Chain A
Amino acid sequence: MLLQQIINGLTIGATYALVAVGFSMVYSVLELANFANGAFYVFAPYIVVLLYASMGWGFIPAFLIAVLATGILGAMMDRFILTTIRNHKAQTSSSMVATLGVSTVIINGLIAVFGSATRSLPNAVNIGRIYIGSAIMTGNQLVIIVMSVIIMAVLSIIVYKTKLGSAMRSIAQNQVASRMMGVNVNRIITVTFLIGSASAAIAGTMVAMYYGSVDTTLYTSVSVKTFASAILGGIGSVPGAMLGGVIIGMLETFVAGYWTSAYKDMIAFIIIIAFLIFKPNGLLGHRKLNKV
């Protein structure tokens, strides 16, 4: 029972982690809560449904196209909407409202095209199941966990080991100074959005596969939980976001498994508030010095 809960928690936590990494990257460079992230998370599986289930494509090409399309959508949102708002030197809350607008358009666009009923997504990954003692790990769960680990490793390498990553981190610390040091700030931010929305797309598709279905109501709770994961781990920290995602995923699985599923969401939020009060920089975040 315990082992089974851990496996289930880890699976769902891994997907939160994946969305949270992208969210956290955007948040750290712009201090912007990107509400469209949740919409990207449901956008991708719908594309997969369209290409794979309806049009009969292979799963892998459908999946790749969906992730790519979502990534481009995210980059376009930044390039055509958010960059303009930034150039107005407006507060980030205006950008936030714009991302709300984008998410409204995406979600309702999906409803208009696909209808508001739940759509099923046939399981493409049929590799049986693994028995670990009395617990079962399905092929889907294995794929989700392995994929998440691989993608997050890649993202870590991008953020911490490449020139692009160091540009991102420098923008997060000081945008003006980065610009003066020759960093093309707007382009780097756009790329950050591309990566962020692509990782949300991967997570969303994997979760849809896991549950065998996709519907548009998922996006709010996902938005809120990725927020939570990112804060818990420490904004701007890739390993932090992973840790945060896994903890939130585990926590809700455990609360649902051992107590009541009614309060599974609430516990996560109480923990966020507690964390913000006692450890506002998260588990792995950096302390920002309050300089006079």
Chain B
Amino acid sequence: MKQFLQGWAKNEKWVNLVLFAIAVVYPLLFTRAYLINIGTLCLVNVLVSLSLNVLTGYMGITGLGWAGFFGIGAYTAAILSTKLGWGFLATLLAGAVMTALCGILVGLPTLKLSGRYVAIVTMAFCEICRALETNLDWLTRGSRGIPGIPRLALFGFRFPKWMQYYVILALVILTMFIINRIINSRLGRGIMAVKDDDIAASAMGVNPFRYKVMTFAIATAFAGLAGAFYAHYIGFIDPSNFTFDQSTIFISMTIMGGLGNLMGSVLGAISLTVLPEILRPLLDVRQIVYGVLLIVMMLVRPQGILGGFNLKHIRQQMSVRSGGEKHE
């Protein structure tokens, strides 16, 4: 394992390139609509899982009601495009901004609380969202849902499925790029310091509350972005897409992939999206097997598949050792 990680750390750029190449080639190799659909849904979930990892992995707050934020993005995009005829670039942006605003609205009064309470707040918020989605009939059409959300299109040209796949792929890569930049900056250090010990962070000049609100806003923005894309892609949304059960799937992906590791989110999201598909022939037993796998995974690697690994740190430690310095 150690050697594997060191090898990975050393060749991280190449590994990323290969993974990127696989992601690009995928729809060319697997042209069946079903497989492209699975690939696209994987990437939507990757985006959600990345956003949740920012909050849960880097900030240390377990986001229990993530489907709520995902749903805000989806509904924002759906309403703006069906009622006001906005184009998808505008609705994606609006979905992200709207969700971030809601995130800030939820975060401002509650982020002074300890993390475990914030987890419950997000859960309650998810249920409140669903109640509103179900009951604000004039806006959301209630439980009948919003049908006919226009597919991604530019200048009247409607994107075929495979092009939508590349759109979400681009969004995922953009998101990873941005999160990576933030994590490896003074802001990222501030975020991790607050997670590790908010009192010490505060004593070192970091305002924990401000960092929590900022992180919450960033995380919710990406969740909203994913939701907005999802609405356009799937074409029909109703409140049952954004339940607490969906939230638990999101958090399972993130934790199983590994907290504080972006590749972990990719892995967690893809495996928990593909797994139910693979298990489909098992019919009734499928969900049971899924649950058992979740348990087994937590028994074998409770910190998640890639949890606790920091390739940058591994690389740095290797550089010192190969540099001839003898300290352990």
Residues of A near any B CB (own CB < 8 A): 31, 33, 35, 81, 84-85, 88, 90-91, 93-98, 100-105, 107-109, 111-112, 220, 223-224, 227-228, 231, 262-263, 265-266, 269-270, 272-273, 276-277, 280, 292
Contact = CB atoms under 8 A, between A and B. Distances in A.
Interface stretch (B7-15, B70-78, B129-137, B146-154): B129-137
Given A105-B288, A266-B128, A273-B124, A220 B243 contact: yes
Contacts of A272: 120-121, 124
Contacts of A101: 252, 291-295, 298
A97 B256 contact: yes
Contact of B127 (A104, A265, A276): A265
Contacts of B252: 97, 100-101
A90 B298 CA distance: 9
Interface residues of B, number: 47
Given A108-B284, A112-B284, A98 B127 contact: no
A248 to B, nearest CB: 12
Contacts of B285: 108, 112
B131 A265 contact: yes
A268 B290 CA distance: 32
A94 to B, nearest CB: 4
A224 B123 contact: yes
6 contacts: A91-B259, A105-B292, A108-B286, A108-B291, A231-B117, A273-B109
B49 interface: no
Interface string B108-127: 01100110110111011101
Contacts of A292: 199
Given A103-B291, A112-B288, A231-B117, 16 more contacts: A31-B116, A35-B248, A88-B302, A88-B303, A94-B304, A97-B294, A98-B298, A104-B291, A108-B284, A112-B284, A224-B123, A263-B135, A266-B127, A280-B113, A280-B114, A292-B199
Nearest to A39: B291
B98 interface: no
Contacts of A277: 109-110, 113
Contact of B245 (A81, A109, A220, A280): A220
Residue among A90, A103, A111, A228 facing the most chain B CB atoms (10 A cut-off)? A90
B81 interface: no
Contact of B302 (A85, A231, A265): A85
B299 interface: yes
B303 A94 contact: yes
B211 interface: no
Interface string B302-328: 111000000000000000000000000
B294 A276 contact: no
B62 interface: yes
A157 to B, nearest CB: 28
Majority DSSP secondary structure for residues of B touching A: helix
Contacts of A273: 109-110, 121, 124-125, 128
Contact of B294 (A33, A100, A107, A224): A100
Nearest to A96: B62
A277 to B, nearest CB: 5
A292 B199 CA distance: 7
Contacts of B127: 224, 265-266, 269
Nearest to B64: A33
A78 to B, nearest CB: 13
Contacts of B299: 81, 84-85, 98
Contact of A102 (B286, B295, B304): B295
B251 interface: yes
Nearest to B296: A101
Contacts of B292: 101, 105
A263 B131 CA distance: 7
Contact of B251 (A97, A105, A111, A276): A97
A98 B135 contact: no
Nearest to A220: B244
A139 B128 CA distance: 34
Question: Which 4 residue pairs across A and B have the least CB separation, nearest first?
Answer: A104-B291, A90-B302, A101-B294, A266-B131
B180 interface: no
A111 B315 CA distance: 49
B184 to A, nearest CB: 23
B284 A90 contact: no
A107 B291 CA distance: 10
B56 interface: yes
Given A102-B291, A104-B294, A108-B288, A270 B128 contact: yes
A273 B111 CA distance: 12
A84 B287 CA distance: 23
A249 B64 CA distance: 23
Nearest to A85: B302
A96 B256 CA distance: 11
A85 B298 contact: yes
Contact of B124 (A31, A112, A269): A269
A104 B284 CA distance: 12
A104 B245 CA distance: 10
B288 A109 contact: yes
B219 to A, nearest CB: 15
Nearest to A264: B131
Residue among A94, A96, A231 facing the most chain B CB atoms (10 A cut-off)? A94
Contacts of A220: 243-245
Interface string B129-172: 00110110000000000000000000000000000000000000
